[in-house]
């Protein structure tokens, strides 16, 4: 055992779209390839790392996940689809507590931040949500609109564009 004192753990603040700073250890932040690269360029800056493409609640879950898994090995780039993914109980409890939209936002956050293991667990959870479901149940789970809902949305968008164009034309009349 070495008599050299351990170096103190470094902490940073990260913030998402809600701009609420979240304190996280450097070791935890290394779970994200993207944030790890940002930290290497910060040189001790105390300003929060801004992640404008991630909503606050998802970022909070990501940071909790990273803290829980800090120091664990980061999976190497592997283009082979794993045959079996076992989600640890702690991760499963968090992922199972999320609704479809929250899980989608977490998938996007893990993807944007390049957190491979979290993304793998999220995708496995999404896949398990589909197991044994009917097409109608899948449509509801994954928030897929029906053909009728698509047609209504398209008509509403077209009408809105026509109203906006008419309003612009009315505003461009002769000036005095």
* 43-58 pLDDT tens trace: 666 788 999 999 999 9
Rounded to whole angstroms, the maximal C-alpha distance in the chain is: 87
Tokens standing for residue 166: 């008419």
3-state secondary structure of 143: coil
Tokens standing for residue 53: 């493409």
Determine contact, residues 138/144, Cβ cutoff 8 Å: yes
Q: What is the pLDDT of residues 107-144, one digit of tens each?
A: 999 999 999 999 999 999 998 988 898 988 888 877 78
> b/e per residue, 129-139, with b = 16+ CB within 10 A?
beeeeeeeeee
pLDDT at 1 (0 to 100): 45
pLDDT at 42 (0 to 100): 77
CA 79 vs. chain centroid, Å, equals: 21
User: 25, 18, 9: which is closest to 63 by C-alpha?
Assistant: 25
pLDDT at 2 (0 to 100): 45
Q: What is the pLDDT of residues 26-41, one digit of tens each?
A: 999 999 999 999 988 8
Phi, psi of 43 (to 5 degrees): 55, 50
Q: Which CATH architecture fits 11-73+82-131?
A: 2-Layer Sandwich (3.30)
Determine contact, residues 59/16, Cβ cutoff 8 Å: yes
Determine contact, residues 11/23, Cβ cutoff 8 Å: yes
DSSP 9-26: PPEEEEE-TT---EEEEH
Q: What is the pTM of this model?
A: 0.74
């Amino acid at each position: 055992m070495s008599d050299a004192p351990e170096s103190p753990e470094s902490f940073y603040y990260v913030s998402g779209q809600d701009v609420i700073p979240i304190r996280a250890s450097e070791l935890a932040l290394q779970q994200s390839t993207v944030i790890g690269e940002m930290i290497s360029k910060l040189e001790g800056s105390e300003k929060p790392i801004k992640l404008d493409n991630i909503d606050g609640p998802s970022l909070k879950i990501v940071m909790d996940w990273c803290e829980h898994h800090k120091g664990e090995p980061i999976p190497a780039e592997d283009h082979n689809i794993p045959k079996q993914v076992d989600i640890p109980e702690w991760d499963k409890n968090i992922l199972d507590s999320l609704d479809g939209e929250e899980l989608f936002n977490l998938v996007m956050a893990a993807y944007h931040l390049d957190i491979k293991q979290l993304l793998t667990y999220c995708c496995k959870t999404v896949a398990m949500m589909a197991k044994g479901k009917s097409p109608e149940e899948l449509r509801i789970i994954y928030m897929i609109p029906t053909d009728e809902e698509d047609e209504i949305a398209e008509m509403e968008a077209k009408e809105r564009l026509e109203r906006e164009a008419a309003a612009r034309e009315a505003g461009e009349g002769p000036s005095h």
